[in-house]
Amino acid sequence: METIYLCIVVFLFVLAIFDLVVGVSNDAVNFLNSAIGAKAASFKTILFIAGVGIFIGASLSNGMMDIARHGIYQPEHFYFAEIMCILLAVMLTDVVLLDVFNSLGMPTSTTVSLVFELLGGTFALSLIKVRNDGNVGLGDLINTDKALSVIMAIFVSVAIAFFFCMLVQRLARIIFTFNYTKKMKYSIALFGGVASTAIIYFMLIKGLKDSSFMTPETKEWIHLHTWTIIGAGFVFFTLLMQLLHWLRVNVFKVVVLLGTFALALAFAGNDLVNFIGVPLAGLSAYTDYAAHGTAVGPDGFLMTSLMGSAQTSWYFLVGAGAVMVYALSTSKKAHAVIKTSVDLSRQDEGKENFGSTPMARSIVRVSMGIAHGITQVAPVGAKRWVNSRFDKNDAIIADGAAFDLVRAAVNLVLAGLLIALGTSMKLPLSTTYVTFMVAMGTSLADRAWGRDSAVYRITGVLSVIGGWFITAGAAFTICFFVAIILHYGGNLSIFVLIALAVFLLVRNQLMYKKRKAKNEENETLKQLMKTTDNVEAIGLMRKHAREELSKVLGFAETNFELTVNSFLHENLRGLRRAMGAIKFEKQLVKQMKRTGTVAMSHIGGDALTERALYYYQGNDFASELVHSIGRLCEPCLEHIDNNFNPLDAIQKGEYTEVSEDIVYLVQQCRKRLENNDYINLDVESGRANSLKNRLSQLKQKELRRIQEHEGSIRVSMVYLTIIQEAQNVVTYTFNLMKASRKFNGDYPVA
């Protein structure tokens, strides 16, 4: 029996390695978002600074893993077997859940996931214990106060971070403006002094408060001399920053990199429990059981020993730090999570990764109404002066950066201060939630959410916030059922669930790679958004249009053929797959049209203006083409799903022949687009007209059959629908080609 529990402990540590990787991938956004978004240094330099902070923070942590030992459950009422069941359920749930969010590029909280997983697993075992033993209640087994304090702290910190940081960033922008180099002769020293002092204070209060060298005496001395430390630090850093400014060192970069180091250090030192706390609790429980509990067995030995605080061995901390640094350096998913946050706070318009929702549209509408009301009563002179401070024409933003160094510095300073404040008040804040909402609040204050992008940004923010609630609910629910399965399933359930977790991790990785390859941002579009040469921009815009329209024709070629063949062979699975692809493609076409509009706004000149209409026509025809295939697939799917009578042999033969020719037409048009070849397009024109005539003949033939009451009317109506939509596919395909030829302008437009 001891062997199986030893294997569980070993597997907990194996899962901990994966958890460290996926945890760092998720939480990297906390400390990398601002530095990367503002391009405060090269990417490798930023990673190096953050990596040093992570390693030092993890190595100096004293391993206070109390939340995993007795923060949620009351271990003195649980037996060894029950504790191991809870801990294994938590780790199995945590590593898979965080990996799913990382694959989606959505930042979430490792603290919240751990707390609610512990709560879900404990609640499951507590229900079983209460049912079997009437002498204990749920209040005796679960520390509900801890869970409630986490929930309340999340709500409060999210609201405070957003609104407070919005006000501070607005003040900072009024002081420095977007051309901050002209406005910081002496103010930069004060800003740098305040910012650096705040960051150092944050490091002492949050980052190093539980470090191994922080003895009770040292903590007491810091507590008694807090204001002295702050005052001395302010004077020192103010003088230092003024000196650096005189030496032509960009003080904002210094503040951003210092803040990045501080947040990375605090993350590693304080969030380490989220990744290795559970395995260490399992090891401690196993060690205690092996030494004192084998006589009574795992179902009779109470885990009172977990009531004490653990002192983690240095090699666990150093090893965890090394794994975290490796994950930070190599994880592609970390880059995806960072990209989500950076894109939502981007200063300029660009490719928006989220659509619009009714709630987002309502928020924008109400906000515009409030802003209009304030504008009406504000003095004209004051409005003019404030607007001059937000003039973006001479903004100093690094090439390829999402925002400037002023906002990046404010992000890091305020995030550090808010987290330090929460820590001093003993509130279990989520660093992910605070840093994300700080970034969103400052971007809103910077007027980064214009009327053409606000609805998409708000949708993104609401999606991320919704993901936070999903994290809590999913963590609790999944861990609840996993714990029950482990409790009643015995050793077999352990092996089955471990195998399932490994399968899900591998599957998520494969799906992530496939999704990443499919959604890889268009390199042509990147070049287009960067170039300032109008002639080059026009060429890139034409290339981008051909690439996007080629993808649509590739989709049409594949899914028209899949829909028709699946319908003719009564393949329900194929029709469902086609319908899923159609729904996804509709969203991609919407995004393509939005992105194209933004790209066109960066191009000027009469030469392009004359043909801009053809670009929008091409996008419209592409959209209609996708919708035509959707209108074709929908009745086919309903017909086969209801097991209605199929087409007869004659109908199948006729439609199969013409559908093959339609696929060939779409294929040839796609190849022409890819090769930018519009010479002898009359060949495709003749082929398209021939297909439309053949489809019209099929339609007339079927109408005569209906008049003569031959065959099923239901089958005939479906057949007429797919004939009509096939005609539309042919029409929109060739119209798309004509619009593309006219937009490219290298060939006659007639």
For residue 342, give both structure tokens. 């950076």
pLDDT band at 210 (very low <50, low <70, confident <90, very high): low
Report which of residues 136 and 7 the model is more confident about: 7
pLDDT of residue 733: 93
Average pLDDT rounded to a whole number, residues 578-592: 89
Q: What is the pLDDT of residues 220-231, one digit of tens each?
A: 787 787 788 888
The alpha-carbon radius of gyration of the chain (Å, integer) is 31
Q: Give the mean pLDDT of the chain.
A: 81
pLDDT of residue 748: 42
pLDDT of residue 561: 93
Q: What is the pLDDT of residues 72-86, one digit of tens each?
A: 778 888 888 888 899
- Asked whether residue 725 carries a pLDDT value surpassing 90, the answer given is yes
Question: What does the DSSP assignment read for 291-343?
Answer: HHTTTT-TTT-B-GGGGSPP---HHHHHHHHHHHHHHHHH-HHHHHHHHHHHH
Cα–Cα distance measured from residue 514 to residue 110, given in angstroms and rounded to the nearest whole number: 26
pLDDT of residue 581: 92
pTM of model > 0.85:
no
Average pLDDT rounded to a whole number, residues 151-170: 80
Angle of helix 187-202 relative to helix 405-424, nearest 10 degrees? 40
- Asked whether residue 384 carries a pLDDT value surpassing 60, the answer given is yes
Weakest-pLDDT range from 238-247, 380-389, 424-433: 424-433
- Asked whether residue 339 carries a pLDDT value surpassing 80, the answer given is no
- Asked whether residue 392 carries a pLDDT value surpassing 80, the answer given is no
Q: Which SS3 state, helix, strand or coil, does residue 213 take?
A: coil
Q: Which amino acid is at 239?
A: L
For residue 633, give both structure tokens. 């697939």
Place of tokens 């004659």: 650
Q: What's the full length of the chain, in residues?
A: 750
pLDDT of residue 194: 86
- Asked whether residue 402 carries a pLDDT value surpassing 80, the answer given is no
Phi-psi region of 375 (alpha: psi -120 to 50; beta: other; left: phi over 0): alpha
Weakest-pLDDT range from 255-259, 465-469, 560-564, 606-610: 606-610
pLDDT of residue 658: 93
- Asked whether residue 207 carries a pLDDT value surpassing 90, the answer given is no
Residue 118: closest CA among 12, 303, 324, 277: 277
Do 629 and 559 touch, CB atoms closer than 8 A? Answer: yes
Q: Which residues contact 550 (CB under 8 A, 6 or more apart)?
A: 670, 673, 674
pLDDT band at 422 (very low <50, low <70, confident <90, very high): low
pLDDT of residue 186: 67
- Asked whether residue 734 carries a pLDDT value surpassing 80, the answer given is yes
Which residue ranges make up each domain of the chain?
Answer: 2-518, 523-744
Average pLDDT rounded to a whole number, residues 364-386: 80
pLDDT band at 16 (very low <50, low <70, confident <90, very high): confident
- Asked whether residue 318 carries a pLDDT value surpassing 60, the answer given is yes
Q: Which SS3 state, helix, strand or coil, does residue 73 take?
A: strand
pLDDT of residue 261: 85
Cα–Cα distance list, 378 to 220, 255, 295, 366, 372 (Å):
50, 35, 80, 19, 10
Do 473 and 97 touch, CB atoms closer than 8 A? Answer: no
Question: What does the DSSP assignment read for 506-543?
Answer: HHHHHHHHHHHHHSPPPHHHHHHHH---HHHHHHHHHH
Average pLDDT rounded to a whole number, residues 219-242: 85
Q: What is the pLDDT of residues 644-682, one digit of tens each?
A: 888 888 888 989 999 999 999 999 999 998 888 888 888
Weakest-pLDDT range from 3-7, 140-144, 476-480, 682-686: 140-144
Weakest-pLDDT range from 206-215, 498-507, 611-620: 206-215
Residue 110: closest CA among 471, 461, 439: 471
pLDDT band at 558 (very low <50, low <70, confident <90, very high): very high
pLDDT of residue 63: 47
- Asked whether residue 726 carries a pLDDT value surpassing 90, the answer given is yes
Q: What is the pLDDT of residues 107-129, one digit of tens each?
A: 777 778 888 888 898 889 988 88
pLDDT of residue 626: 94
pLDDT band at 310 (very low <50, low <70, confident <90, very high): low
Cα torsion angle, 419, 422, 426, 429, sign: negative
Q: How much of the chain exceeds pLDDT 90, in percent?
A: 16
697: how many CB neighbours lie within 10 A of its CB? 13
pLDDT of residue 747: 47
Report which of residues 272 and 575 the model is more confident about: 575
pLDDT of residue 424: 60
pLDDT of residue 212: 56
pLDDT of residue 427: 59
Average pLDDT rounded to a whole number, residues 426-434: 70
pLDDT of residue 61: 67
CATH number of 523-744: 1.20.58.220
Q: Which amino acid is at 712?
A: S
Please, what is the Cα angle at 624 between 618 and 628, to 5 degrees?
A: 145
Q: How much of the chain exceeds pLDDT 70, in percent?
A: 86
pLDDT of residue 107: 74
Average pLDDT rounded to a whole number, residues 382-409: 80
pLDDT band at 573 (very low <50, low <70, confident <90, very high): very high
Average pLDDT rounded to a whole number, residues 579-601: 83
**What single DSSP character describes residue 61?**
B
Place of tokens 């690439």: 547
Average pLDDT rounded to a whole number, residues 542-569: 91
